[in-house]
């Protein structure tokens, strides 16, 4: 049963549903992320999320990365982590993560394909649980958070953008469809749900550097898909995107220590 913060999160997220008339005209599904846009880089990105995870991670410890995508969050903690458990609903993402993991000799990797928290039952506990850029995809936050918490021995570290990831496309959405995108929920609303569920949440705001993980053509194609448009819109999207693409994004690190830390 959701409290007021959980209910507000679910209800405001629901307002991001794409209007049926736009959705039915979409040449391909606007949902899902191409693996090419989320390939993990070779070097970790220094952020508060990484620092908070490192503080709670013993040498040779285990990280669980939920909604791991290509593994940028979890692989960025190797070393000191020597074992990475990754969960994602996309096999293509997990294949990309395994390919990047091969560049880290000695790392033990386990992957679980499925939706969190439904898939959580078979997933082992880890020293630190990380979950980056997933929460805006989750309407039922309380049960998602409970499964993160119950899988952490020491700490849970969540990273999300301060605003919904599709907010970056607000100007383009207005340009092509003439309507405004919603302006809620935001990271503070997620933090309110975490607190409502009884976790001692800390929030740190920062600018997440733009990680150009895909070439321009792939980025434009991903944007076109999210905008429910066809390839004939690519040139216009390319010019609206500007020469440097999207810049750094205001992000939030939400973290808490597990109460009565598990042995
Ligand atoms: C925006 S990507 C972020 C990937 C990675 N964490 C990063 O920050 O680079 C979101 C990922 O979460 C996965 N995902 C979304 N909801 C999920 C859920 N409920 N359970 C498992 N995976 C999920 C998607 O398949 C996708 O790989």
Reading the block at residue 218, the tokens are 């792939």
Residues 143-172 pLDDT 10s: 999 999 999 999 999 999 999 999 999 999
Does residue 42 belong to any structural domain of this protein? yes
Q: Is the CB of 160 under 6 A from ligand 1?
A: no
Q: Is the CB of 157 under 6 A from ligand 1?
A: no
Chain mean pLDDT for the chain: 95
Does residue 136 belong to any structural domain of this protein? yes
Does residue 222 belong to any structural domain of this protein? no
Please identify, by atom number, the ligand 1 atom nearest to the C-alpha of residue 35: 27
Does residue 97 belong to any structural domain of this protein? yes
Does residue 145 belong to any structural domain of this protein? yes
Phi, psi of 15 (to 5 degrees): -75, -10
Cβ neighbours, 10 Å, residue 101: 21
Identify the band that residue 248 occupies on the pLDDT scale cut at 50, 70 and 90.
Answer: confident
Q: Is the CB of 89 under 6 A from ligand 1?
A: yes
Phi, psi of 70 (to 5 degrees): -80, 0
Residue 65 sits in a domain whose CATH number is 3.40.50.150
Q: What is the mean pLDDT of residues 58-80?
A: 98
Output the residue whose Cα is nearest ligand 1's atom 8: 132
Nearest residue to 158 (alpha-carbon basis) of 112, 120, 201: 201
Q: Number of folded domains in the chain?
A: 1
So what's the pLDDT on residue 114? 98
Pairing of strands 152-161, 126-132: parallel
Å from CA of 133 to ligand 1 middle: 7
Domain hosting residue 14, numbered range:
4-171+180-215+247-257
| pLDDT greater than 60 at residue 263 | no
Q: Is 21 helix (H, G, I), strand (E, B) or coil?
A: helix
Residues 78-137 pLDDT 10s: 999 999 999 999 999 999 999 999 999 999 999 999 999 999 999 999 999 999 999 999
Cβ neighbours, 10 Å, residue 91: 11
Please identify, by atom number, the ligand 1 atom nearest to the C-alpha of residue 137: 16
């Amino acid at each position: 049963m959701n409290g007021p913060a959980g209910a507000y999160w679910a209800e405001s997220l629901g307002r991001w549903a794409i209007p049926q008339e736009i959705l039915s005209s979409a040449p391909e599904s606007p949902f899902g992320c191409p693996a090419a846009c989320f390939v993990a880089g070779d070097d970790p990105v220094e952020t508060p999320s990484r620092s908070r995870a490192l503080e709670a991670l013993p040498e040779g410890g285990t990280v669980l990365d939920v909604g791991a995508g290509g593994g940028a969050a979890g692989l960025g903690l190797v070393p000191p982590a020597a074992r990475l458990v990754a969960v994602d609903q996309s096999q293509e993402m997990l294949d990309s993560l395994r390919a990047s993991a091969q560049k880290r000799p000695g790392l033990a990797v386990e992957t679980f394909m499925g939706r969190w928290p439904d898939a959580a039952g078979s997933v082992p506990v880890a020293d630190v649980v990380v979950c980056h850029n997933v929460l805006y995809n989750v309407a039922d936050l309380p049960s998602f958070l409970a499964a993160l918490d119950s899988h952490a021995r020491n700490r849970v570290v969540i990273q999300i953008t301060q605003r919904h990831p599709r907010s970056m496309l607000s100007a383009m959405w207005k340009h092509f469809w003439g309507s405004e995108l919603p302006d809620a929920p935001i990271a503070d609303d997620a933090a309110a749900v975490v607190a409502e569920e009884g976790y001692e949440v800390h929030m740190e705001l920062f600018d997440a550097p733009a990680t150009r993980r895909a070439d321009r053509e792939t980025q434009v194609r991903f944007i076109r898909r999210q905008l429910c448009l066809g390839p004939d819109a690519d040139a216009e999207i390319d010019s609206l995107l500007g020469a440097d693409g999207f810049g750094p994004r205001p992000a939030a690190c939400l973290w808490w220590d597990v109460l009565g830390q598990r042995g």
